[in-house]
Structure 1
Amino acid sequence: MVWVSLQKRDTNLDLIKWLAMLTMLLDHLRYIWPDNGWLFIVGRLAFPMFCLGIAANVARSQTGELYSDNNVRYMCWMTAFAVISELPYRLLSNDSSTLNVMPSLLLGLLITWGAHHRGRDGLILALAGVTVAVLMQERLMYGVFGALLPAALLLAIQRPGLVWLLPAALCVLANSRNRWLAEWELQPYTLLIVITAFVAPLLGLWLLRRLRQFRVWPVKRWGYWFYPGHLAVLHMIRSLG
């Protein structure tokens, strides 16, 4: 098996981002076709793939360089789209008790930075991220476990092996608070959801480290617009229907 370096941009990371966006889109098609329950199962791949994208980006940065221009831009983009995405998310999912997914990813980014850069400032940043996640537990999509997932994936990237089970377990816990899962209780369909959630980080980590011989269209900053954009489009389609 050939492993790829995480020190430069490669097709693997773009592939992870495409999988995240595609599975998220399939998941949200439930709002148009609510009887297609399999879409929810496929959608369990999306959040861990986005978290893996964050972890991989952080892993590529130099340890100790917390206050860099790249990190400032990264945080600004994440914060901006956490705000921008709330309206289309609320329009499409008006019965949701949580915020859109971007605040969860933003807190995950802060915690992952803290874990990667360490030191006093890193520790303060990580503790602040965890504290906010705890305080926002009821409003945060995927809760505290979801906010911790990118940091766990960072650890798995840095230390391949049994550590991979940590993000897999966190992913199951993050999905366990989902009201869909609670309503369906223990049945084959529920088990498929749990299994998919457990496998998702493992699949992502495996894909990230495989050598690709084909090109993948890079997902750059336009990818930020995909989240609020597809929510708005799905809302309009449902309204027309």
Structure 2
Amino acid sequence: MTELKTATAPERDRALDLLKWLAMLSMVMDHLRYVGWDADWLYVPGRLAFPWFCLAIAVNVVRTRTSAARPIRWKYLAWLALFSAIAELPYRLYMAEEVTTLNVLPTLTLGLLVAQGGLSRSWPARVLGIAALAIGVLFGPQLMFGMYGVLLPLAFVLVLRTSIWLAIVPGIVCLLSNEWSKIIDGMLWGDPISIGALVACLMAPLLGLAILRWRLEFGVWAMRRWAYAIYPVHFLVLAWMRGIV
């Protein structure tokens, strides 16, 4: 039984797991800015986290099935929705003075629905995708990365289904989902952090796609469902670190 299961189980995509770990590392680096250290430069690598999470979502949507119907990923949605609720309190505890939106998981949940709806020929998936997009438009100010953040997974689906040369599209959407006006204003004044953030937003899709095409010669710790817990837990750990600092 064990041999049969091993023989038929799909091979784990180590490059995708690596992408997720690097996205998680980028996210933690970004949030380290609020521990109390003078580390504003961490804003630049922090711009990679959200687009790489969106790329991982797009990969999972595209690989769901070869069938045009592409069923709704209910378990995927349920885990995102569950940890959206669990993470909100730790997020608000740690980011108390910076909170202007919900945590990032509601944006990723809506983005998943939009990406599925955009790719599927199933009417339930399309209706849910349209509804998610409408929520993103109406409640953009309450969502981290706003309406453009909701659209970013779909922009990655476009690249995965067509050509890597369209990676500039998610790059622009990534920039728009960030504080693009402040980034561009800072860039015009010669601020190195703003220049770095602009480059990071535009290059994140290409870097993420390059990681996915990398033929890894080493093992990567598989990021399974337990990894959802990293998001709320890391806020609590950073809050503890800030108390020490």
Asked if Structure 1 and Structure 2 have the same fold, meaning a TM-score greater than 0.5 normalized by the shorter chain, the answer is yes
Which residue does the alignment assign to 2:228?
A: 224
Which residue does the alignment assign to 1:66?
A: 71
2:157 & 2:118 partners in 1: Cα distance? Answer: 8
Contact 2:51 2:174 in 1 (8 A): yes
Amino acid at match of 1:65: R
Deviation at 1:126, TM superposition (A): 1.7
Which residue does the alignment assign to 1:86?
A: 88
Superimposed CA distance per residue, residues 68-106 of structure 1 (whole angstroms, 9 cap, x where no aligned partner): xxx211111000000001001101111311110001100
Aligned residues: 231
Deviation at 1:183, TM superposition (A): 8.2
Question: Aligned with 1:138: secondary structure?
Answer: helix
Question: Aligned with 2:140: secondary structure?
Answer: coil
| Structure 2 counterparts to residues 225-240 of structure 1, below 5 A | 225-240=229-244
| Structure 2 counterparts to residues 111-150 of structure 1, below 5 A | 111-150=114-153
Deviates more, 1:98-107 or 1:168-177: 168-177
1:21 to 20, 24, 30: 24
Which residue does the alignment assign to 2:3?
A: none
1:24 & 1:10 partners in 2: Cα distance? Answer: 21
Amino acid at match of 1:172: L
Q: Does 1:201 align with 2:200?
A: no
Distance 1:181 1:93, change over 3 A: farther
Q: Give the percent of matched residue pairs that are identical in Structure 1 and Structure 2.
A: 41
1:88 & 1:161 partners in 2: Cα distance? Answer: 37
Distance 1:177 1:165, change over 3 A: closer
Distance 1:81 1:207, change over 3 A: same
Superimposed CA distance per residue, residues 138-157 of structure 1 (whole angstroms, 9 cap, x where no aligned partner): 11111111110011111111
Question: Aligned with 1:85: secondary structure?
Answer: helix
Question: Aligned with 2:141: secondary structure?
Answer: coil
Superimposed CA distance per residue, residues 51-73 of structure 1 (whole angstroms, 9 cap, x where no aligned partner): 11111111111131314xxx211
1:35 & 1:103 partners in 2: Cα distance? Answer: 30
Superimposed CA distance per residue, residues 196-217 of structure 1 (whole angstroms, 9 cap, x where no aligned partner): 1111111001211222222111
Amino acid at match of 2:215: L
Instruction: Give the greater-gyration-radius structure (CA).
Output: 2
Gaps (5+ residues) in structure 2? 1-9
Contact 1:82 1:100 in 2 (8 A): yes
Deviation at 1:127, TM superposition (A): 1.1
TM-score in terms of structure 2 length: 0.88
